[in-house]
Amino acid sequence: MALDSMDRRILNVLQKNGRMSNADLSERVNLSPSACHRRVQRLEAEGYIRNYVAMVDPRKIGLATTVFVEITLSGQADELLEAFEREVARVPEVLECHLMAGKSDYILKVVAEDTEDFARIHRQKLARLPGVLGMQSSFALRTVFKTTALPV
């Protein structure tokens, strides 16, 4: 199904406030509550809306350090890539993992309490992942902006 302009308006509003009531959402997008509810249900059923989540402030829970880690593997065999991906998904401090084109095989977004905590994560978890040949870590000094809203 193709998205029309009303679907896009609904997605834009929900990406900014997923807890908005259907009544408030229907008012914001200028649609009747029942029609709005049907559209949201369809967007959910068709996978456009995958989840509703709470965005937790990492600083408030003691995870103020963000590190981007470039990973180089020892090979490119499917079995090695699959083993790496399966195991990296089990590391709770890894928020994102992307298979890359270029000099690195993967880039990870990792959160930690501080540099000492990251050193522990690096040593005890990341370095032990299957096939890791090398790692290059870059510490974020400050988050300028962050969004999860896609341009729909």
* pLDDT tens per residue across span 31-76: 999 999 999 999 999 999 999 999 999 999 999 999 999 999 999 9
Q: DSSP labels for 80-126?
A: HHHHHHHHHTT-TTEEEEEE-SSS-SEEEEEEESSHHHHHHHIIIII
* pLDDT tens per residue across span 75-127: 999 999 999 999 999 999 999 999 999 999 999 999 999 999 999 999 999 99
Residue at 133 is within a domain? yes
Q: Look up the CATH number of the domain holding residue 28.
A: 1.10.10.10
- Domain that includes residue 41, residue range: 5-45
Residue at 116 is within a domain? yes
- Please enumerate in sequence order all residues whose Cβ is within 8 A of that of 12, keeping only pairs 6 or more positions apart, or say none: 149, 152
Co-location of 31 and 74 in the same domain: no
Residue at 146 is within a domain? no
Residue 71: strand, helix, or coil: strand
Residue at 32 is within a domain? yes
Co-location of 38 and 77 in the same domain: no
Segment 15-22 shows an average pLDDT of 96
26 CB neighbour count, 10 Å cutoff: 20
Alpha carbon distance 110, 112 (integer Å): 7
Q: Look up the CATH number of the domain holding residue 80.
A: 3.30.70.920
Q: What is the pTM of this model?
A: 0.91
